[in-house]
Amino acid sequence: MCRLTGEIDHHSARWLRMDIDTAISDHKPKILRLDFSGVTFMDSSGIGLVMGRYKNMKLSGGSVELTNMPEYIEKVMLMAGMDKLADMPQRNSVTADERQGEKNG
């Protein structure tokens, strides 16, 4: 599991990518679990971070799981369609109907 902390912006995402990719290469997990419980801010770089790790894991036959997301991060991930790429086992704050309502509203 990779526990993410602090802010995820374009400055920190670069280092996170390198660290996570090194861990993937060294440990070859079947499931990459990204724990967002310590994240205090995230911009679109966080979405890019997850998308890139999804591509890396898919190439090796693995998957990505997003856990412990604060509600605002979960909403952003759902609006970006990340639930189609990564498992989001704690998806309970925003339903598909609510997302559709936001798009139509």
* pLDDT number for residue 56: 95
Q: What pLDDT score was predicted for residue 92?
A: 54
- Number of Cα atoms under 13 Å in the Cβ half of residue 62: 17
Go through the domains of the chain in sequence order and give each one's CATH number: 2-104 (3.30.750.24)
The residue to which tokens 């060294």 are assigned: 26
Task: Quote the pTM value.
Answer: 0.82
Instruction: Give which of 53, 51, 57, 55 is closest to 30, Cα–Cα.
Output: 57
In eight-state DSSP terms, residue 43 is: -
Question: How would residue 99 be classed by pLDDT, with cut points 50, 70 and 90?
Answer: very low
Bridge partners, 66 (sequence order): 34
Token output for 54: 């999804």
d(CA 89, CA 105): 27
Note the pLDDT tens digit of each residue in 23-51. 999 999 999 999 999 999 999 999 999 99
The tens digit of pLDDT for each residue in 67-93 reads 999 999 999 999 999 999 999 997 654
